[in-house]
């Protein structure tokens, strides 16, 4: 399938950082904006889109809420990942100046990534549904004292001027996206770039997590991410999300997975794919 025949669903409106991720990863693809992560997943499930581009974590803010709960039951597979260097820009109406700005609107995740700049310039934070959507609202409101925090792409789409560029608090501010599909990717992955993502729950026995992870250590399998989160609204039911380097068919990974199964339940592989360039 070539880029020109691919349609990618993402949460947000045109100009969102998810839109930027789609453009960077598949420059010639068509895009389908959706009003929620679930809607983007559903678009792929029913065949209205070929892929979904979903943000899972940001290097400054942390993980994106809801995504880890949606992934295991989405019916989709992770076939790739893409990292976007998130440059945050203060966007205002044409003709406005930085000194005019009293408030800035954006998604709560983005507001948290430039707190220092907003505090320094005495700019009030206004929570919007998403980044590009906030740029669209600012464009429609025609209030010289209001700005949006979003990508330069959003500024171009909604006719806003860049009043300040790259105002993020951290110089390495980056968001990781997962590329999701109904089918597993049938392309060759470089041996040293294979990543496997899975979820599991530990059994209710002493030191279950410690014992479950021991197999990866003894077999020399590199774990690059381990996160826990509550499921089913319970403080006692915990699910873990795990990223490892290697393929499930490799001998070392097989042994580690066998040991994992002794101390866990509901092990589910979400995808085997090539690590993105970070």
Q: Distance (Å, rounded) from C-alpha 211 to C-alpha 231?
A: 22
pLDDT averaged over every residue in the chain: 91
Euclidean distance between the first and the last CA atom of the chain, given in angstroms as a whole number: 25
Cα atoms found within 13 Å of the Cα of residue 63, Cβ hemisphere only: 11
1: pLDDT strictly greater than 60: no
Domain covering 3-85+173-181 in this structure, CATH number: 3.40.190.10
CB 133, CB 12: distance < 8 Å: yes
Q: Yes or no: say if 162 and 155 are a contact pair by the CB < 8 Å rule.
A: yes
User: Is the whole-model pTM more than 0.85?
Assistant: yes
Nearest one of 15, 7, 24 to 128, comparing CA atoms: 15
Whether residue 62 is predicted with pLDDT greater than 90 in this model: the reply is: no
Sort residue 269 into left (φ over 0), alpha (ψ -120 to 50) or beta. Answer: beta
Domain boundaries, the chain: 3-85+173-181, 89-164, 191-272
Dihedral (CA of 109, 115, 121, 126) sign: positive
- On whether the 89-164 domain is CATH 3.90.1150.10, my answer is no
Let me know if the fold of 3-85+173-181 is the same as that of 89-164.
Answer: yes
pLDDT at 74 over 70: yes
Q: What is the dihedral of CA 18, 21, 26, 32, to 10 degrees?
A: 10
Quick: pLDDT tens for 95-146.
Answer: 999 999 999 999 888 898 899 999 999 999 999 988 999 999 999 999 999 9
The residue among 21, 130, 108, 113 whose CA lies nearest residue 60 is: 113
Dist CA 24 CA 31 (whole Å)? 12
Continuous segment of H or E residues that includes residue 245: strand 238-245
- Which tens digits make up the pLDDT trace of 196-233? 999 998 877 788 889 899 999 999 999 999 988 877 66
**Closest by CA position to 245, among listed 177, 175, 196:** 196
Residue in 7, 162, 184, 17 with CA at minimum distance from that of residue 86: 17
Share of the chain above pLDDT 90, in %: 71
How confident is the model at residue 273, as a pLDDT? 94
Q: In terms of pLDDT, which residue wins out, 196 or 63?
A: 196
Give the catalytic positions in this structure.
175, 177
* Residue-wise pLDDT tens digits, 14-61: 999 999 999 999 999 999 999 999 999 999 999 999 999 999 998 877
3-state secondary structure of 104: strand
Q: Is the pLDDT score of 185 beyond 70?
A: no
Q: How far apart are CA 101 and CA 205, in angstroms?
A: 56
- State the Cα torsion 135-140-143-145 to the nearest 10°: 0
Structure token digits, residue 38: 């679930």
Q: Which of 149, 93, 151, 154 is nearest to 121 (CA)?
A: 149
C-alpha dist (Å) from residue 23 to 18, 90, 207: 9, 22, 45
CA-wise closest residue to 107 among 85, 134, 139:
134
* Per-residue pLDDT reduced to its tens digit, 235-262: 666 789 999 999 999 999 999 999 999 8
Fold of 191-272: Alpha-Beta Plaits (3.30.70)
Percent over 70 (pLDDT), the chain: 95
Q: How far apart are CA 196 and CA 225, in angstroms?
A: 11
């Amino acid at each position: 399938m070539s880029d020109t025949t691919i349609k990618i669903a993402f949460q947000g409106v045109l100009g969102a950082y998810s839109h930027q991720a789609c453009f960077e990863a598949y420059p010639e693809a068509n895009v389908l904006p959706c009003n929620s992560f679930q809607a983007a997943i559903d678009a792929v499930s029913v065949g209205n889109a070929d892929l979904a581009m979903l943000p899972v974590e940001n290097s400054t803010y942390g993980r994106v809420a809801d995504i880890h709960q949606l992934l295991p039951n989405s019916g989709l597979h992770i076939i790739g990942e893409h990292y976007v260097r998130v440059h945050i820009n203060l966007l205002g109406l044409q003709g406005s100046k930085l000194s005019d700005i009293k408030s800035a609107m954006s998604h709560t995740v983005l507001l948290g990534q430039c707190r220092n700049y907003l505090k320094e310039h005495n700019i009030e934070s206004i929570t919007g549904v998403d980044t590009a959507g906030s740029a669209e609202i600012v464009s429609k409101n025609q209030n010289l004292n209001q700005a949006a925090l979003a990508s330069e792409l959003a500024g171009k789409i909604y006719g806003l001027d860049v009043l300040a560029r790259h105002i993020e608090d951290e110089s390495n501010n980056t968001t990781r996206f997962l590329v999701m599909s109904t089918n597993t990717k049938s392309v060759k992955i470089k041996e040293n770039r294979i990543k496997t993502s899975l979820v599991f729950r530990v059994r209710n026995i002493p030191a279950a997590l410690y014992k479950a992870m021991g197999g990866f250590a003894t077999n020399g399998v590199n774990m690059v991410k381990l996160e826990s989160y509550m499921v089913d609204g319970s403080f006692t039911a915990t699910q873990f999300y795990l990223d490892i380097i290697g393929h499930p068919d490799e001998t070392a990974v097989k042994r580690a997975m066998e040991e994992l199964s002794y101390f866990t339940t509901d092990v589910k592989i979400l995808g085997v794919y090539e690590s993105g360039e970070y």
